Amino acid sequence: MKTICVFCGSSDKVAARYLDAARATGAALARRGIRIVYGGGSTGLMGALAYAALDQGGEVIGVSPAFFQGPLLIQDRLTRLEIVETMHQRKARMAELAEGFIALPGGFGTLEELFEMLTWAQIGLHQKPIGLLNTAGYYDPLLAMIEHAQTHGFIYAEHRQLFAFGEQPGELLEAMSNHKPPEGLERWVERDFR
Ligand code: AMP
């Protein structure tokens, strides 16, 4: 993987451990020579990730709709800032540029981006690895929800393998590089004809 797209929280009102995790991820990607694609934001985990990667000499591409222009975006230091018109164009462009996806802790935006990449993988639109950084167990309730959905038959067991899980960035990247797309994805809708 030469380019990874990172989704993460834009809020500044979060505990230092989450900002530290974003910095550690940015630095880990830069040290491995992996280019980052992200939303271009300057705040919260987004800014922490990007500045840490840039400080290590890494490449960081921001993709953002024009309406985020201003202090919400890193204007001066990014390797490249691509301005698109809509949020949908942005997500498609980020997905096109990246060979894998990581979700760090985040809110609605992060969850929405993560789940769109998971649903695209589920129907075979891409086979790129997806990883969740489970800083301090942040994603444990989400994993429990996914297991609940699986128990109730809404998520196929093999689709649980669509994403890797890791507490530390190095461990997560290792799991993602060993990713094998689950078999049987053509059977993404199963009819029960009994
Ligand atoms: P959230 O998790 O709700 O904070 O949303 C974060 C996600 O939404 C990021 O991965 C971005 O793609 C996008 N996003 C939210 N706020 C901004 C912002 N100020 N600048 C750029 N992208 C943002």
Q: What pLDDT, on a 0 to 100 scale, did the predictor assign at position 191?
A: 60
Q: Is 139 in the pocket of ligand 1 (CB under 6 A)?
A: no
* Spatial contact of 127 and 95, defined as CB atoms under 8 Å apart: no
3-state per-residue secondary structure call for 92-104: HHHHHHCCCEEEC
Residue holding tokens 């630095």? 27
Pocket test for ligand 1, best of 5, 10, 108 (most atoms within 8 A of CB): 10
> Does the pLDDT value for residue 152 go beyond 90?
yes
Q: Is 62 in the pocket of ligand 1 (CB under 6 A)?
A: no
Chain centroid to Cα 169, Å, comes to 12
* Spatial contact of 28 and 173, defined as CB atoms under 8 Å apart: yes
Q: Is 169 in the pocket of ligand 1 (CB under 6 A)?
A: no
For the entire predicted model, the pTM comes to 0.93
How far is it, in rounded angstroms, from Cα 191 to Cα 80? 46
CATH number of 3-186: 3.40.50.450
Chain segment 28-83, per-residue pLDDT in tens: 999 999 999 999 999 999 999 999 999 999 999 999 999 998 999 998 999 999 99
The protein residue with its alpha carbon nearest to ligand 1, atom 21, reads 41
Q: Cα dihedral sign for 24, 39, 178, 166?
A: positive
Domain ranges across the chain: 3-186
